[in-house]
């Protein structure tokens, strides 16, 4: 099968896709959707899964009467079933300039992760939407439903490129949040290298959708192989700073990095969001079938 350049054909082969189809993006609570889909709703419907009884009322559909209960108790009861409805999984991909860095690139890793999760959503009859966060806006790429739209999804993801110049992640996320309709799942894929990263999490958590944060950093950021006198330049602002890197400097950097990630995880937990810290060298199969299953993002 043909796959776009956003995904690695040696990973996204037929066998891998069949494995993905056995998974579903998990939600903590029942949902209110629009079209019938594969989710348990808080509303009562007429699916095949029995939920409860209620007393018969004038005008109810007689086909829903439980005749066995009538024969035993001589009372009229209506059978209720779980309504199955769809939700939207919104993928918000950070397309700031910093996401282009790293080996492998953070943006490429995010594209592949979104492709795998999006394929799960489409195969589960969920609606899948993709928005790129760059500059000061969230640019909606696609909103799709049905497993037959997978190539549209992959094409949209492969077309996302890192922005040139600065990105206001807060403004872009707020713009994207304003476009959301209905309750669903938001998957934010970002390196969160923004001074307002904590506000981004608060804003997205306040939308009422379930928030999943995939915090993507490169191996070079997690464990930099630097030493000596260096000038570090911000890829977005172009501003530089002169530093002297020795063992003490690296130890201090790792400690601050760990404290920063722990702080983001604590904030996410307080906002009932799921926070997953990732390195771009994690194989996609390990991400999908080990890490995200362990964190109950998929199951």
CA 234 to chain CA centroid, nearest Å: 27
Side-chain half-sphere CA neighbours of 264 within 13 A: 26
**Contacts for 151-155: CB closer than 8 Å, 24+ residues apart:** 151/2, 151/4, 153/115, 153/118, 153/119, 153/122, 153/128, 154/3, 154/4, 154/6, 154/7, 154/115, 155/4
Give the per-residue pLDDT at 10.
47
Do 22 and 299 touch, CB atoms closer than 8 A?
A: no
CA 121 to chain CA centroid, nearest Å: 10
Q: Mean pLDDT across the chain, nearest whole number?
A: 84
What residue ranges define each of the domains in the chain, with the CATH number in brackets? 14-29+86-219+267-294 (3.40.50.410), 39-85 (no CATH)
Buried b (16+ CB within 10 A) or exposed e, 108-135: bbbbbbbbbbbbbbbbbbbbbbbbbbbb
The string of pLDDT tens digits covering residues 78-98 is 665 544 556 899 999 999 999
Residue 37 has pLDDT above 70, yes or no: no
CA distance linking residue 43 with residue 30, whole number of Å: 9
Give the per-residue pLDDT at 47.
46
Percent of the chain with pLDDT over 70: 79
Lowest-pLDDT range of 69-83, 167-181, 239-253: 69-83
The string of pLDDT tens digits covering residues 104-121 is 899 999 999 999 999 999
Residue 6 has pLDDT above 90, yes or no: no
Mean pLDDT confidence for 182-186 = 83
Give the per-residue pLDDT at 38.
52
244 backbone dihedrals φ, ψ, rounded to 5°: -115, 120
Give the per-residue pLDDT at 138.
86
């Amino acid at each position: 099968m043909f796959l776009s350049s956003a995904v690695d054909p040696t990973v996204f082969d037929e066998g891998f896709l069949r494995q993905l189809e056995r998974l579903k993006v998990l939600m903590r609570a029942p949902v209110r959707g629009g079209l019938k889909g594969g989710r348990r709703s808080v509303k009562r419907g007429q699916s095949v899964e029995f939920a409860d009884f209620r007393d018969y009322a004038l005008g109810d559909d007689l086909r829903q009467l439980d005749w066995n209960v009538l024969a035993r108790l001589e009372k009229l009861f209506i059978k209720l079933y779980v309504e199955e409805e769809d939700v939207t999984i919104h993928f918000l991909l950070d397309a700031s300039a910093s996401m282009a860095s790293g080996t492998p690139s953070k943006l490429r890793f995010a594209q592949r992760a979104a492709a795998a999760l999006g394929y799960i959503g489409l195969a589960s009859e969920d609606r899948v939407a993709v928005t790129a966060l760059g500059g000061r806006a969230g640019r909606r790429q696609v909103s799709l439903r049905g497993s037959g739209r997978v190539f549209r999804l992959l094409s949209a993801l492969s077309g996302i490129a890192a922005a040139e110049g600065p990105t206001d992640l807060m403004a872009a996320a707020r713009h994207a949040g304003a476009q959301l309709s209905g309750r669903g799942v938001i998957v934010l894929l970002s390196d969160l290298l923004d001074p307002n990263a904590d506000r981004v999490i608060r804003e997205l958590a306040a939308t009422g959708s379930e928030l999943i944060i995939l915090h993507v950093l490169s191996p070079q950021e997690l464990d930099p192989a630097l030493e000596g006198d260096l000038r570090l330049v911000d890829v977005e602002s172009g501003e530089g700073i002169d530093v002297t890197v020795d063992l003490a400097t690296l130890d201090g950097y790792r400690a601050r990095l760990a404290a920063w990630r722990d702080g983001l995880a604590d904030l996410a937990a307080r906002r009932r969001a799921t926070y997953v810290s990732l390195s771009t060298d994690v194989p996609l199969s390990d991400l999908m079938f080990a890490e995200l299953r362990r964190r109950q993002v998929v199951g």
